[in-house]
């Protein structure tokens, strides 16, 4: 009985999240169009994101994503919800993940040294920042690029998200964090840095499990690029670009910003830097796919993972895994349910 009540409460919260998203929508659509979207399981802004008139049944609905996909990984989803646990599970022998240096919680600071956790001071975070030039401070849980800070100390000058601040401001930031970690900064490959240098521009790779073949497959992948409103991250819903990736060749297509308030505008070059995007090849794409699939294959109890990848000069770093990946930044390029393997996967898990 208690388990059923918790389940009902969880589903209600997820549905409320969809309602809140609709209330905050800037789509400007009339009531009839909003109702048309909702009765098919979509929030109204999806009418602008997707080409519904062409293949309406090929898109995974917002209802399915928000209410049903969070349970695909069942009791093991905490591995993906907690960035520290994720790094411990998939780091070292499986994938390269950023080293976790400190845990910050309500004014207290703890350092990770080998297998030990040692209480320390925020001054040690700043000292390491001086040595390493840059660190990332982010929440242990949560997503969407919120509460992520790039911190630097160069020649005595402190910076937060590339803005000059006083050392005291940096100390206050560290003291204000709750359940956060300070981690290694992943220096991105020059192709991504050239396109937009003020954000870490990541690849989102969505893997699913093929139960007939007994192995994972890549369902979709996009490259995200930041813009000024998103610094220091590349979050699409906050103004970044989602760029299609040719899964076979690893070449970039055109990019699009979240079209919540207007038409779908496609960009072959970055709208701020003017750097070419379309046609750029991701270095080492074949190796990235092979290693991501190997990592997914080591965890069949996590059949649904959205991997966030930073391509580097010497390979790649996986920042985190997502339990129920956003799908709008994927489906803006191509509907997921058009792939029979993807449709079969979602049917198997009762998502559709």
Q: What is the pLDDT of residue 9?
A: 66
Cα–Cα distances in angstroms (integers) from residue 148 to residues 15, 145, 205, 283, 318, in the given order: 26, 6, 21, 26, 16
Query: Of 178, 140, 141, 182, nearest to 160 (Cα)?
Result: 182
The closest alpha carbon to 298, from 76, 22, 2, belongs to 76
List of residues 6+ apart from 158 with CB closer than 8 A: 126, 151, 152, 164, 165, 166, 167, 169, 170
pLDDT at 20: 77
Q: Per-residue pLDDT tens for 110-127?
A: 998 877 889 999 999 999
Tell me if residue 185 falls in helix, strand or coil. coil
- Specify burial of residue 229 (Cβ count, 10 A radius: 0-12, 13-18, 19+): exposed
**Which of 191, 198, 211, 111 shows the shortest CA–CA distance to 150?**
198
Task: Give the burial class of 20: count Cβ atoms within 10 A of its Cβ; 0-12 exposed, 13-18 middle, 19 or more buried.
Answer: exposed
Cβ distance 173 to 167 under 8 Å?
no
C-beta separation of 232 from 161 below 8 A: yes
Q: What is residue 19's predicted lDDT score, i.e. its pLDDT?
A: 76
Query: What pLDDT, on the 0 to 100 scale, is given for residue 143?
Result: 67
The predicted pLDDT at position 37 comes to: 86
Helices 167-176 and 122-132: crossing angle, nearest 10°? 120
Q: What is the set of domains in the chain, with CATH numbers?
A: 1-93+188-352 (3.30.470.20), 100-184 (no CATH)
| pLDDT in the model for residue 21 | 74
Rounded to whole angstroms, how far apart are CA atoms 252 and 222?
8
The pLDDT of residue 5 is 66
Q: Which residues of the chain have pLDDT under 50?
A: none
Strand order in the sheet with 252-257: 266-267, 252-257, 241-245, 215-225, 203-210, 305-312, 315-322
Closest CA to 319 of 327, 328, 311, 310: 310
């Amino acid at each position: 009985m208690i388990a059923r009540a918790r389940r009902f409460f969880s589903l209600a919260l997820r549905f409320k999240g969809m309602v809140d998203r609709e209330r905050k929508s800037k789509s400007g659509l009339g009531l009839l169009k909003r109702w048309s979207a909702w009765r098919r399981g979509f929030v109204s802004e999806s009418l602008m994101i997707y080409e519904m008139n062409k293949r309406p049944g090929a898109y995974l609905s917002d209802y399915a994503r928000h209410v049903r996909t969070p349970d695909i990984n069942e009791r093991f989803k905490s591995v993906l919800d907690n960035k520290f646990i994720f790094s411990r599970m998939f780091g070292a022998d499986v994938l390269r993940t950023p080293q976790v240096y400190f845990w910050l919680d309500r004014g207290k600071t703890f350092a990770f040294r080998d297998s030990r956790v040692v209480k320390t001071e925020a001054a040690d975070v700043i000292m390491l920042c001086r040595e390493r030039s840059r660190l990332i401070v982010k929440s242990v849980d949560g997503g969407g690029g919120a509460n992520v800070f790039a911190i630097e100390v160069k020649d005595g000058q402190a910076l937060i998200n590339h803005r000059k601040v006083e050392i005291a401001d940096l100390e206050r930031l560290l003291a204000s964090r709750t359940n956060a970690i300070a981690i290694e900064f992943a220096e991105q490959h020059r192709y991504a840095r050239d396109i937009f240098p003020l954000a870490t521009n990541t690849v989102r790779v969505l893997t699913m499990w093929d139960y007939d073949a007994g192995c994972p497959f890549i369902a979709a992948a996009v490259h995200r690029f930041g813009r000024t409103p998103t610094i220091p991250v590349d979050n699409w819903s906050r103004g970044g670009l989602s760029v299609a990736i040719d899964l076979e060749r690893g070449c970039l297509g055109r990019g699009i910003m979240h079209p919540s308030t207007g038409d779908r505008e496609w960009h072959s070059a970055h709208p701020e830097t003017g750097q070419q995007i379309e046609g750029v090849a991701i270095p080492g794409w074949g190796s990235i796919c092979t290693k991501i699939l190997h990592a997914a294959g080591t965890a069949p109890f996590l059949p649904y993972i959205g991997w966030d990848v930073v391509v580097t000069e010497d390979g790649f770093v996986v920042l985190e895994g997502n339990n129920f990946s956003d799908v709008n930044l994927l489906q803006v390029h191509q509907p997921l349910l058009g792939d029979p393997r993807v449709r079969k996967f979602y049917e198997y898990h009762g998502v559709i």
